């Protein structure tokens, strides 16, 4: 999911129309539409107003909602979608083992054959 979709979801969760949000942050409704469709990026002051109006953080909009720590104080930020993908890979032991054996090579093999497995995928 991209930032625009996250903004749209947050706006809908806040029960606001594009026009209502535009009035709150001081822009035209067409600009909100462009933000949500990733055709335009808000300037910093407008972005901050968006965050305040929608009661969300920049990390949430950028997809960095999950922070994972290990024992060595190593921190990784992941989007919820990324964590879902990793969880599904982990839930499939054969796939996990294959990817773990040579991640770079095996992801490349999967990528090269993706069109055969999922013909609806566009290049």
> Per-residue pLDDT tens for 100-110?
899 899 889 98
Domain that holds residue 123: 92-123
Phi and psi angles of residue 76, each rounded to the nearest 5 degrees, phi first: -130, 135
Is-above-0.85 flag for pTM? no
Residue 26 belongs to some domain of the structure? yes
Structure tokens belonging to residue 40: 């335009």
> Per-residue pLDDT tens for 38-96?
999 999 999 999 999 999 888 888 877 655 656 666 666 677 788 888 889 989 989 98
Residue 117 belongs to some domain of the structure? yes
CATH at 25: 1.10.260.40
Residue 39 belongs to some domain of the structure? yes
Q: Which of 73, 116, 81 is nearest to 1 (CA)?
A: 81
* Same domain assignment for residues 57 and 96: no
Residue 87 belongs to some domain of the structure? no
User: What does the alpha-carbon distance between residue 61 and residue 80 come to, in Å, rounded to a whole number?
Assistant: 11
Looking up tokens 């982990």 gives 90
CA 13 to chain centre: 17
């Amino acid at each position: 999911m991209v930032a625009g979709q996250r903004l749209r979801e947050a706006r809908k969760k806040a029960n606001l129309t594009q026009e209502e949000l535009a009035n709150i942050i001081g822009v035209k409704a067409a600009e909100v539409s462009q933000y949500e469709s990733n055709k335009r990026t808000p300037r910093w002051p407008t972005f901050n107003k968006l965050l305040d109006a929608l009661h969300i953080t920049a990390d949430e909009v950028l997809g960095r909602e999950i922070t994972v720590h290990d024992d060595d104080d190593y921190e990784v930020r992941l989007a919820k979608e990324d964590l879902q993908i990793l969880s599904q890979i982990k839930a499939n032991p054969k796939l996990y083992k294959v990817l773990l054996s040579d991640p770079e090579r095996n992801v490349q093999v999967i990528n090269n054959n993706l069109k055969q497995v999922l013909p609806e995928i566009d290049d």
